[in-house]
Structure 1
Amino acid sequence: MATKIESHPQSASAPSNPSINEKDTKYDADLEQSDSAPANGLLEALGYEPELTRNRSTLQVAFMSFVLASIPYGLSTTFIYPLYGGGPVNIIWGWLMVSAIILCVGASLGEITSVYPTAGGVYYQTFMLSSPAYRRIFAWICGWSYVVGNIMITLAVNFGSAQFIVACVNVFETSSGAGVLAGESYQIFLIFLAITLLCNAVSAFGNKWLPHLDTFAIFWTLAGVLATVICVLVIAKNGRHSAEYVFTNFEPQSGWPVGWSFCVGLLQAAYTTSSTGMVISMCEEVQEPSRQVPKAIVGTIILNTLAGLLFLIPLVFVLPNTEELLALQSGQPIPTIIKSAVGNSAGAFLLLLPLAVLALLCGIGCTTAVSRSIWAFARDGGVPYSRKWKVVNKTLGVPFNAMILSMVIEIALGLIYFGSTTAFNAFSGVGVITLTVSYACPIAVSFAGGRSQIKNGNFDLGKLGVFCNVVAIAWSILVVPLFCMPSYIPVTAETVNYAPVVFVAFIIMATAWYWAWGRKKYVGPPSVDDAVIDLRHDVS
């Protein structure tokens, strides 16, 4: 049920002339309502009633998109994968290659989002773009993939943060090679638990401050990256590699054939850029989503690509022995690389601190996005007990129940770590796979339908859009088998990749719920008899 905005008459006891502050408050409220009116009108035309506050500008939604990726942090926690895959070439050129592909994915999603800007995101878009004959099942597959992907990426971010924080603390050693924190399984899990609770608390109770937090994150990240880059290159305690080494050295250590080894090492870049479409879930909290969100998606990918190169290249110049990095028990090479470059623990910890803070900010952003994705799918009956999860808490202004559901699922899945030290690989792998599948669904059906509805949006790329669609679909076909593979072979019971197991478990769950309930009762999101809304002109 949507929150109803009512106008209350002035009481008889109120002063006849309101104060300046009262006038200002009324003016701000009226202005905000006026700015949101066109977007709310569009949302109603798409079949939904506005329930969330539109409190984000174009820059703020772009900042959130940047925080969801959190380039320096995301690249740091997954740095070990390209080390196995091929070393410097995998790190630098793998990042550029995947960024170019994700730019095509983002551009394709931007075109579609400019036509259908709802919190349902790719799920709603798939339904509207598909033929009536199979739109329900396609939307169901996409919706579950999108929700699962959001949950798994949020889990991977928070779990990776726990591992990264332990590695940062352990730049201080009790003896050579022995950190001050043992980093046992229960310690990692408890830190993960604390981070998850913190992120959910901030997202739930500080919703109106989140845009300002995202803005702070941009400047914090810039300052931290510049400090790291300058210090490691200037000090370079153990010397610097040549440019030839940085840009041409390829030394796969995964045990896979050379070409496949390089591909498996792309998980770092794929994981970091997997949040590309998560910001679509915020469409109902921005004032002009059909214009703002596509620009934010594409602009942020370009910014992320440059920021990633700025961060990665200096680190490869001072890269220590690769075999020693792969032997680290923590699985987190970045703290060791920075400590090796600056030569002391205190300096390394100070340079790592901005990344640790960014990790928390990224977790908050992902927590916010995942709650919106569950809420949007639940209001169309897509998840069990939808009646509970589709409620918006009127006091907090957020889908609090959906947020709690995602948190409980994340904590339960975090228990996998007690059985496998490579649990993070499963979380990140499944997140990348399911989000990529969800992004491919609307792109594929739009492409198969001749992109006929794209022309009604504000972001039609024409022939370039066709090329982007083809690249995005091809990437999606590669991702599913690629990230189900273990990072290296031979595989042991402790290092096996649980991504296929978790992925199949969610497929079984989604299929069972569809046959038990959805096959007869699920009708998909509301539609306006397949009417196409022309967004090429302002709604107002």
Structure 2
Amino acid sequence: MELKESVQSSVDSPAVSLGSQDHTGRLYNDQEDMLRLGKKQEVPRNFKFFATLGFVAVFVSSWEFVLVSTWGGLLNGGFGGLIWEYLWTFCLYSTVVVSLAEMSSMAPTAGGQYHWVSEFAPPWCQKFLSYMAGWTSIVAWQPALAGGLYPIIVILETMIVYWNEDFAFTRWQQSLLMIAFGFLTIPFNTFWRRFLPMFEIIVLVLHFAGFFATILPLWILAPKNSASEVFTEVVNSGGWSNTGLSLLIGQVTVLYCMAGFDSAVHLAEEVEDAARNVPRSMVWAFLLNGCMGFVMLITYCFCIGSLDSALEADEPFVNTFLNVGSPGGATGLTLILFVLLICGNNTCTTTESRQLWAFSRDHGLPGSAWLSKIHPTWGVPVNCIMVTIAINIVLCLINLGSDVAFNIIISIQMVGFLATYIISIGCLLGKRLRGEPLPPARWSLGRWGLPINAIALCYSCFFIIFCFFPLETPVTADNMNYAIAIFAVVIAVSLGFWFVQGRKTYTAPVVFTAGHRTGDMPLQSIAMLRKR
């Protein structure tokens, strides 16, 4: 009874009144979760299910990235290989998505992976592993905006090239345009913050409408490759010793069309009924995006023309769009892609800033006291947003000196994602194997949790190996994959911060988590939270 009164008091408090008072029951669930996690409600909960679904689906943009990021799959697999790479990646990566979804229901917090590691890891390594997961997550997410801006510039250049074949942006023009488009993400993340959920719903509609507006002209107007070419021809154009290895390397580019579904996790403290709506939005976005991506991939392979001409093109999707018969038609299709990818960058800035804010709240970063502040009017971590924009401006400026160096830094993103999945899912699996009780989850895998977690962990460990391979041989300075070197530097820097500062100042979230073994909420947790 005392617990219910305390939670209801929290629901009626000024901090929580930032959310909708018409949904007291849902807010009660959220506040109960926040009390168990030992966190204050500092940001408004104005994302409902469809807004959260739009947030995730538009960020991942599977069908859009099928068009702009699968050159490596064409090189290592061809049409048939790329399609089968997509299918097995979708099936196996689904175990990762549902494992993350379940953990987001157990602990719906903006911290995500590093928080889960703190709760699920053995006591002797909880703090250290959680700290390393937090740093790895930052390294994975912070380049996301710059990585999303680069394809936009390529697409913009493509639309101009349709009409002027000799046109090309200089590096300084590319960098300045990327920075300019990056600044466009600031309004919806600051003073227009209350309109962001509606914006995500609108863009979700455009995401579906743009899909049909793209495939229908291609189905009707473009000449088609034969079904045998599309589904059965597998090639090894990367120069690898055998086709099997080539296919395993090609699958890395396919995952770029699916990665990032944990973006919803870092929005959890702004989602109404988060323990239910965050995992639901992740799973539905994965299924819908995955299906649209597969249909687009088949359309792409049928309509692209010959494989040789696609591999020789700077951007293979250009061949597909030009096959509608006119530069005007190709420009229209490319414009759809351009607009949707610009809209997805709002999600990048939101996710990056929330993950940064959550880790700062637990004193995991230098300057945490400043970074963890919430703007009193807008209800967002403005300092983290500004730092995120600044980091990505620096990354865009690296392109001035070398596009190779820029791509090297951006390439670490996938490795960072997989590393955080491996650590968090590994800790959850270990807890299940030890037979220890887990926190209650409103979206649960039930008895299937252990085998699904095991498959997800094995797949992530296996997949991350191929993230360090170059796309083709012989290996040169230009096509070398430097991700392993960059990742080693990241680990070294993280360890350095751990020994210098982190082990003294970092507060592992499990310290504030009440009842994480039994699911019960001791009344002492409320006093602990208020004291904090």
TM over 0.5: yes
Residue 474 of structure 1 deviates from its aligned partner by 1.4
Verify: 1:208 aligned to 2:191, yes or no.
Answer: no
The aligned counterpart of 1:10 is none
Verify: 1:188 aligned to 2:174, yes or no.
Answer: yes
The aligned counterpart of 1:12 is none
CA contact (8 A) 2:263 2:351 kept: yes
Counterpart mapping for 1:500-511 below 5 A: 500-511=484-495
How much is the aligned-residue C-alpha RMSD, in angstroms? 2.5
CA contact (8 A) 1:116 1:125 kept: yes
Q: What SS does the corresponding residue of 1:497 show, helix, strand or coil?
A: coil
Worse-superposed segment, 473-482 or 43-52: 473-482
The aligned counterpart of 1:266 is 251
Verify: 1:134 aligned to 2:125, yes or no.
Answer: yes
Deviations 1:467-498 (A, max 9, x none): 22122111221233311222222233333333
The aligned counterpart of 2:213 is 227
Q: 2:500 & 2:105 partners in 1: Cα distance? A: 35
CA contact (8 A) 1:148 1:431 kept: yes
Aligned length: 507
Q: 1:145 & 1:187 partners in 2: Cα distance? A: 31
Q: 1:338 aligns with which of 321, 325, 333?
A: 321
Inter-CA distance 243–202: structure 2 relative to 1 (3 Å threshold): same
CA contact (8 A) 1:58 1:292 kept: yes
The aligned counterpart of 1:473 is 457
Inter-CA distance 295–35: structure 2 relative to 1 (3 Å threshold): closer
Q: Residue type matched to 1:167 in 2?
A: T
Q: What SS does the corresponding residue of 1:261 show, helix, strand or coil?
A: helix
CA contact (8 A) 1:378 1:386 kept: yes
CA contact (8 A) 2:81 2:233 kept: no
Inter-CA distance 428–103: structure 2 relative to 1 (3 Å threshold): farther
Counterpart mapping for 1:31-430 below 5 A: 31=22, 35-173=26-164, 178-179=165-166, 181-236=167-222, 239-257=223-241, 258-328=243-313, 331-339=314-322, 341-422=323-404, 425-430=407-412
Structure 2: unaligned runs, 5 residues or longer: 1-9, 521-532
Q: Residue type matched to 1:319 in 2?
A: I
Residue 240 of structure 1 deviates from its aligned partner by 1.1
Q: Residue type matched to 1:191 in 2?
A: L
Inter-CA distance 531–465: structure 2 relative to 1 (3 Å threshold): closer
Structure 1: unaligned runs, 5 residues or longer: 8-25, 536-540
Verify: 1:487 aligned to 2:471, yes or no.
Answer: yes
Q: 1:276 & 1:445 partners in 2: Cα distance? A: 20
Residue 461 of structure 1 deviates from its aligned partner by 1.8
> TM-score normalised to the size of structure 2?
0.89
Deviations 1:263-291 (A, max 9, x none): 22122221222202121001101111111
Inter-CA distance 200–490: structure 2 relative to 1 (3 Å threshold): farther
CA contact (8 A) 1:72 1:225 kept: yes
Q: Tell me the percent identity.
A: 25
Residue 183 of structure 1 deviates from its aligned partner by 2.4
The aligned counterpart of 1:14 is none
Residue 371 of structure 1 deviates from its aligned partner by 0.5
Q: Residue type matched to 1:445 in 2?
A: C
Q: What SS does the corresponding residue of 1:114 show, helix, strand or coil?
A: helix
Residue 514 of structure 1 deviates from its aligned partner by 0.6
Q: What SS does the corresponding residue of 1:523 show, helix, strand or coil?
A: coil
Q: Residue type matched to 1:117 in 2?
A: P
Inter-CA distance 129–95: structure 2 relative to 1 (3 Å threshold): same
Q: 2:205 & 2:405 partners in 1: Cα distance? A: 32
Q: 1:479 & 1:117 partners in 2: Cα distance? A: 27
Residue 33 of structure 1 deviates from its aligned partner by 6.0
Q: Residue type matched to 2:274 in 1?
A: P
CA contact (8 A) 1:71 1:307 kept: yes
The aligned counterpart of 1:497 is 481
> TM-score normalised to the size of structure 1?
0.88
Worse-superposed segment, 91-100 or 446-455: 446-455
Q: 1:202 & 1:480 partners in 2: Cα distance? A: 34
Deviations 1:114-140 (A, max 9, x none): 111111111111101112110011101
Q: Residue type matched to 1:285 in 2?
A: E
Q: Residue type matched to 2:21 in 1?
A: D
Q: Residue type matched to 1:335 in 2?
A: V
CA contact (8 A) 1:220 1:354 kept: no
Inter-CA distance 241–422: structure 2 relative to 1 (3 Å threshold): farther
Q: 2:518 & 2:265 partners in 1: Cα distance? A: 18
Worse-superposed segment, 305-314 or 489-498: 489-498
Inter-CA distance 65–6: structure 2 relative to 1 (3 Å threshold): closer
Deviations 1:296-336 (A, max 9, x none): 111211111111012111111012233333333xx422123
CA contact (8 A) 1:54 1:286 kept: yes
Worse-superposed segment, 377-386 or 30-39: 30-39
